[in-house]
A and B are shown apart, each in its own frame.
Chain A
Amino acid sequence: MNEHRTEQQLIDYAFDLASDAAKRQARAHLDQCDACRRKLDVLKGKFAALDLLADEIQASPDLLAQTVATATGPRPVRRLPIWRHTWIGAVAAVIVVGISLLMVSTLQPGRAPQTPAGEPVVVDSAKASEMKSESLAPAPTKRIALAEKDVAVQTLAPTAPAPMASLAMAPLRKPTEEIVEKPPFAPASAIELVVLPRREDIQLTIYNGADLTLVRERRHLTLKKGWNWLQFMWAGTLIDPTSLTLEPVTHQDRVEVQQLVFPPRLRELGRWLIRSETSGQVPFELTYLTSGLSWRAFYMGTLSQDELTMDLQGYVRVDNQSGEEYENAQTRLIVGEVHLLDQIRELAQRQYAYGSPLPDGVKGMGMMGGMGGRARVKFVDLAFRGAKDDRMGLLGDILERKEIRKEGLSEYFLYTIEGAETIPNEWGKRLLSFEVEDIPVTSLYKYDEQRWGSDPMRFVTFANDTEHELGESPLPNGQVRIYGRADAERHLSYVGGTGVKYIPVGEEVELNLGPARLVKVEPTLMDFATDHYVFDSNDNVTGWDEVRTWKVEIANARALPVDIEVTRGFETAYWELELRGDGVAYEKHDATHARFKLTVAPRHKQAFTYIVTTCHGVREEAFVRKQR
């Protein structure tokens, strides 16, 4: 048997491309060789796929009629191809502009508003085409369409930071035709880009209790009468594709969003099929959930020099790691926990909208790997960065502080940031939530060796109520940093920081500022004795008392008097205490602890002594009887 035929030889044989001699040899070989026959069949099967395109394109009756009319009609007057001679266009443009300016200056009483430099010039595509068609010689339809494209590219591309989630429209042509009842199949390849609609009125509702943000955005889509495909891509973002909804804001009776399809093998892409009985711009509202946007509250307190009052500023910081840029978004922040069935981040990272999610391990590797390589959030401090970065609009923030409006919302609390915010991807933004001066506060030092070790802790206490100039709304959990005014020049020193939990209205807030450095507490065991032994009939000890004498010395190195609570534990509930010393009082804090309270003068030491007797064994019963 001859050698097997190559694929090329088989193709040439099948398509009559080989020489006669080669064809004879191939035929003879194929008669004997099963493998080559099978190979040939496979090839034929493959090439049979070419037939799929055989009859798919048909010239419409309109096109045929138009073609006949164009070909048989009178010859058009030859036009000067103005676009080939740019100088003619330039001269014409100068003349037109000159005449226009002359007319404006002579006819209009006031000056026409001017577009500021750097601002995006949004030109309605229809108007743009009119402008083009007026300034140029009467142009064919295609040329006008080209003008629309030019305008779209020039006005949108440089100003809008290329959105990772983008919309593209694919209207069917010939709006005057009757609408075909059967919807067209979703084209499998890239879709035509006719309009890149700008976002308008975008609203973000960010839940800090979960990695969840509700995005509602409004876009004006240019629809043609008939079926329109709208493509939405979310590549590189954390948008949950299962949450996508699209609704027309107007023309609901004439525009119908029929379905959302997710074409196979095309990742992170969905297409809406829209049936429109009208053509032109229609506002749509697009809603979806995304992950990666978060906000958190933090506070900055400044204690007065006498530490009796505190100025408190509350801030919220919004971080955007969603992969999407949100420009001029109305931002609403929700305090409270929401119940989520799925993690949006995981839904968003599915390869296909409704496909099976990857195993956790794989997902985690992908996400964390991606995030790990990124620059972390760039913190933007209004006070220091604003003037440099116009993109963020921070200068405006400094000049005109925004108000954050608060209102209750079912189980949650809603904070609405006044105006609109631009939050670029991977950026964070800090906003002032509230600012209150002279909140009465209580400074207190606490010493509890069992809880905090040998250092006393410093606390500042106030309440979220009207008496403390607060109480307007709950305070979200967040970090608190406390500074103190060090001198009359109002220089600041860092006092301490802590985290606070959600503080409802009326609740007291106790801020633990950490170990005190200028106040020391030193307890010393001065004496130990046992007493009141009880023996059983075998002379074994069954009960006894232990008597300890403790001296507690408090050193206050501060220039201010300090109130201090010293908590002492006895490891038994059967104790009694005798206190010796002036200016100190104690109370039973709980079954096993006593709490001493005193005020220590500035730069003074003060000591008190207590003798505690604890009962053990059967002496506990005697202690109980005595207490009764």
Chain B
Amino acid sequence: MTEVTDESLLAAHLRGDTAAFRQLVQRYGDSVLRYLCHMTGNRDQAEDLFQETFKRVHEKGHTFRGPRLKSWLFTIATRVVIDAARRRKRAPVLSLNQPVDCGPEGCSELGATMVAPDATDPADDLVREERKQQVREAVATLPAKQRATLVLAYYQQLSYREVAQVMGCSIGTVKTQMSRALARLAQRLPDAVSVTK
């Protein structure tokens, strides 16, 4: 049995099939939310933008021209993030759940959901969580464009060409951003240590 393609789901959604849209949301929910968390550094804000992203997908589905739904989805998510950032610049808003000194990933909500469900050894948990935190902080220190490029290319596995489409720039620019992001991360990421898990 072959899996229904993204494009078929979108087409079904455009025909008014709510179940198809639900399936799309479920299919890309994790990756979009992860991207938004990386970009905002705040779970609550990311969830707001998550809803906003899929709302736009729902409303603007007819504007999709291909070739790949995933990159189009992230284009919309990126646009939503940029719009939100602009709104915040106009009227700074403090989130109740974000402390003043909270780093982009430094929120307990994130931490709370990141508990490895099958972790058994507390020491391993500890080491693993600390390393995660270092990685989060390293990623969070990247400039927004570098961070978006890294998240899209590395975590979302988009090709550099797709990232360029999402970011609205050339492949050369994407590669430059990626290269700079990785160089910066190389300075900040923890050295490799063995974690039992």
Contact = CB atoms under 8 A, between A and B. Distances in A.
A279 B196 CA distance: 37
B110 A57 contact: yes
Contacts of A16: 160
B125 interface: yes
B191 to A, nearest CB: 6
A156 interface: no
A42 B50 contact: no
Contacts of A58: 29-30, 33, 113
B183 A11 contact: yes
Interface residues of A, number: 60
A191 B132 contact: no
Nearest to B191: A46
B113 A56 contact: yes
B146 to A, nearest CB: 13
Contact of B135 (A49, A68, A265): A49
Interface string B119-141: 00000011011111111110100
B111 A182 contact: no
A83 B179 CA distance: 42
B25 A43 contact: no
Contacts of A52: 128, 131-132, 135
Interface string A1-42: 000000110011001110000000000000000000000001
Interface string B169-190: 0000001001100110110011
A185 B115 contact: yes
B165 interface: no
Interface residues of B, number: 72
A193 interface: yes
A53 B155 contact: yes
A359 interface: no
A188 interface: yes
Interface string B92-117: 01111111111101111111111101
B74 interface: no
Contacts of B105: 189
A14 B55 CA distance: 38
Given A52-B128, A145-B96, A190-B101, A68 B133 contact: no
Contacts of A265: 130
A450 interface: no
B54 interface: yes
Contacts of B55: 67, 70-71
A229 interface: yes
B21 interface: yes
Contacts of A55: 30
A413 B82 CA distance: 67
Interface centre among A48, A153, A185 (most CB of B within 10 A): A185
A64 B29 contact: yes
B25 A146 contact: no
Contacts of B48: 142
A55 B113 CA distance: 11
A452 interface: no
Interface stretch (A87-95, A167-175, A207-215): A167-175
Contacts of A453: none
B77 interface: no
A194 B129 CA distance: 23
A63 interface: yes
B139 to A, nearest CB: 7
Contacts of A201: none
Nearest to A60: B113
B130 A190 contact: no
Nearest to B125: A185
B196 to A, nearest CB: 14
A149 interface: yes
Contacts of A15: 178-179, 182
A67 B101 contact: no
A435 interface: no
Contact of A189 (B25, B33, B34, B102): B102
Contacts of B21: 68, 71-72
Given A15-B182, A187-B107, A193-B99, A172 B112 contact: yes
A502 interface: no
B30 A57 contact: yes
A74 interface: no
Contact of B136 (A7, A8, A53): A53
Contact of B97 (A12, A84, A150, A194): A194
Given A83-B91, A149-B94, A185-B115, 19 more contacts: A15-B182, A46-B189, A50-B135, A56-B114, A57-B30, A58-B33, A58-B113, A67-B29, A72-B58, A84-B91, A149-B95, A172-B109, A185-B129, A188-B130, A188-B132, A189-B105, A189-B107, A189-B133, A190-B106
7 contacts: A47-B186, A59-B29, A67-B50, A71-B51, A190-B101, A192-B107, A194-B96
